[in-house]
Chains A and B, each alone.
Chain A
């Protein structure tokens, strides 16, 4: 599956109390928090847009996609710019933990059939702590 090929490096981020990992090749860059311009009349899943060196980048409310409440902003917040289709989108991570690779990556037993499993069909097992591997293509 897509997860297992090429680079096996992941950027591990914290969302709420959970840890998630994004394949490093999907990530364009990680920037500090900056003001997000809301767009009226859009679903709550869209936080707004930012200006990234002259490009208008939409910022996605990843929390709502993953069905978790948004935690208050802290200094640890980062915007992660990921490649999405032909362009880019940003997500706000509560914190960026590390760049790492995992020795043990397992597919979830229920795979994509499970209605919650849509978001993460693999998990990394780090000494009993499960880290969801997510891919923007699957989430958005």
Chain B
């Protein structure tokens, strides 16, 4: 059966309502399960089922109607205390909502009745049959109406209505009295009647209704027949055709009212009663269909997301043009010395234009924002199901549902969140017995929280379950060859826990329906990182696990500080810019092999952007006694200084992705079109800052501590004029430089491949990575070493010696916010030379970023 055309326009309204009511049902069912059959809950459930039954019947969706009818009966029994709420019952009801969703889905796909609801109907039927047959019959209005004969409906216009009719006739309008009867076996008669009412209102004005509209709207009072008096310009035939399109209307009889027979329809005495009915009609205009009070629905327009995106793109173009307009105007203003009134006007217009555009942009951005509630509301049901499936007791708490974020992000984080929640419910929270045994409350607590935190969205999932056991992770990771035992030794507990984000690792002893297949957290992490987000985990064995996701409010249009470097323009998102400082050369110091700078007594890591991006720059200029322009940027609680050639002021930019072909680029998050039609790259402040920040933890905590305990033998080698060391354990052999075969499409740090006894190995050149100059030399060698990426070669300039480095020879470091980059163990002094001890494995990993 296809959807009748005249109903299709109601379709979207209906789908909205369906969505909303299913949502309400689920919420209330959860409450029902938790709090038992409270009157208010049952009432709401009953109303939801009832509303749906009515509207789906009106739309002619029988499966939906039957299902909701069955549910309604059950709710009715609960309401009348003839049925006790137990878990079996709620399960069936939950099941029923699932079917509603299935039905909804099949409707969305344009099909009907493809879902077999019969088994469920039987279930519902059984429940009702067992307890009572009377109440069902007593309630069903269809049955009721069937018993009653036709009532005598009479048209009785009051004086006011009569005047309206006369006025209309004088204005060449037609007045009709329309009698309709809804088929006696139709469900939701009043909705049918209202469909008639609405159909008539399209072309006519309804001036009176018998019985009064309030009675028609009330399913329990409405008996299936009614008379409407309408004023219209349309012919009787046209009206008849229009009404006959409405299904389930049995009889339509239209009488024409004219001046001659008007008095038959008028009852002077009963004027006051009818007057009130007239008022009711007036009011009902705004209330729309439905026999029940309308569920609060904010006035909304549904817009296709694509269309919204398109508009946003257009706003983006406007912003670019606006920037250009401003540039041109200000240039003209500078050229024209004389007062030029046209120019002044142009400038005014440009200013006003700018204001409007910024308002427009703000408005557009807001249309993309949704409260995270839209996503969160799906979870209570899910968690409940998971708890049931695993026989656990879970108390699910949600906080910060009102947090708004970009609708795109809401869609994107749905799957990762589901995954994390599942993990928590499945692996995190223990069974009630186990919990009691550990002295915890029977029910585990699962907290889902969202909040805004300095220009980021923070979403966390916290459980009080058994936590992630680093020992288990370690053995699993070693067994699966994700890390070597040697590596595992050096890892902190937190680092071990972070291993769950690597692919192929699952500590679950057995695969369950919910999770534990060893794919998952790595995909979650990849997904979050794709959104420029961060995922972090903190877990204490026996106490629970907390997973935090941080997402930037990646909005397509942002304000950015434009900077120049190597005659190229780069954009730094203004929300990350703390301040711009000019530094004297003596304020930049070298500590621990890396540069730091002092600003008002604070120490900041100092990043030369040219070196990070490996572009040429005015470095020479800066080394002279000139001030260096430095931008302090922050991300989260970490800050770094970025040295650039100069700043160019801030402006509105439209973020453009570099596209899938280019993919991820280190330190670059996107691009934007500049006012002059050029392209500026947008710096990935997050990556820059985060790279520096995360290292503090690593070097200060475990790695250096580990080193303290054992003085290690180190091979010292030279790259350019600097001395570096690596642990002798890491060195497999040192060979002369053989022929190097260059390979295409490789990392910029891979020089090529070389053959070692028939095996091809990649050759890494760290000169560029460390920002050093390489000179051809006969002393050059290749260190062959085992890394986490297999055996690799490292090109070095000269092998110096093998010696012992220990903490005694370690150079004191200044406690700055950062003291080493990833891959640097520390700086040591050795026979008057500073040696930077490298952890090449980390460094190679870093080059692959």
Contacts and interface: CB of A to CB of B under 8 A. Distances in A.
Contact of B661 (A35, A55, A60): A60
Interface in B659-708: 659-662, 665-668, 671, 673, 677-679, 681
Contact of B745 (A37, A41, A64, A84): A64
Given A49-B662, A60-B661, A54 B668 contact: no
Nearest to B676: A51
B668 A40 contact: yes
Interface in B724-745: 744-745
24 contacts: A37-B671, A39-B665, A40-B613, A40-B614, A40-B665, A40-B667, A40-B681, A41-B667, A43-B745, A43-B747, A44-B745, A45-B744, A49-B662, A51-B673, A55-B656, A56-B656, A56-B659, A57-B659, A60-B661, A64-B744, A67-B744, A86-B660, A87-B661, A89-B659
A65 B744 contact: yes
A51 to B, nearest CB: 5
B140 interface: no
A12 to B, nearest CB: 24
Contacts of B317: 54
B615 interface: yes
A58 B659 contact: yes
Nearest to B568: A37
**Residue of B662, B666, B671, B681 with most partner-chain A CB within 10 A:** B662
Nearest to A66: B744
Contacts of B668: 39-41
Contacts of A86: 660
Interface in A18-77: 35, 37-46, 49-51, 54-58, 60, 64-65, 67
Interface string B743-775: 011111000000000000000000000000000
A84 B656 CA distance: 18
Contacts, number: 82
A49 B679 contact: yes
A15 B679 CA distance: 27
B420 interface: no
B746 A43 contact: yes
Contacts of A64: 744-745
A57 B678 CA distance: 12
B627 to A, nearest CB: 25
A84 B659 CA distance: 11
Contacts of B744: 44-45, 64-65, 67
Contact of B681 (A35, A37, A54, A58): A37
A35 B679 CA distance: 10
Contacts of A56: 656-659, 671, 673, 679
A108 interface: no
A42 B665 contact: yes
B671 A49 contact: yes
B614 A41 contact: yes
Given A35-B678, A56-B671, A67-B744, 7 more contacts: A39-B681, A42-B665, A44-B745, A50-B679, A54-B320, A56-B656, A60-B661
A99 interface: no
A58 B614 contact: no
Interface string B555-599: 000000000000010000000000000000000000000000000
A85 B677 CA distance: 26
B745 A45 contact: yes
A58 B748 CA distance: 18
A140 interface: yes
Contacts of A50: 679
B614 A84 contact: no
A40 B614 CA distance: 6
B662 A42 contact: yes
**Residue of A37, A45, A55, A56 with most partner-chain B CB within 10 A:** A56
Contacts of A89: 659, 661
B328 to A, nearest CB: 18
A42 B613 CA distance: 10
Contact of B660 (A43, A46, A60, A87): A87
B678 A37 contact: yes
Nearest to A87: B659
Contacts of B677: 51
B770 to A, nearest CB: 14
A57 B320 CA distance: 17
Interface in A116-140: 140
B662 A39 contact: yes
Contacts of B568: 37
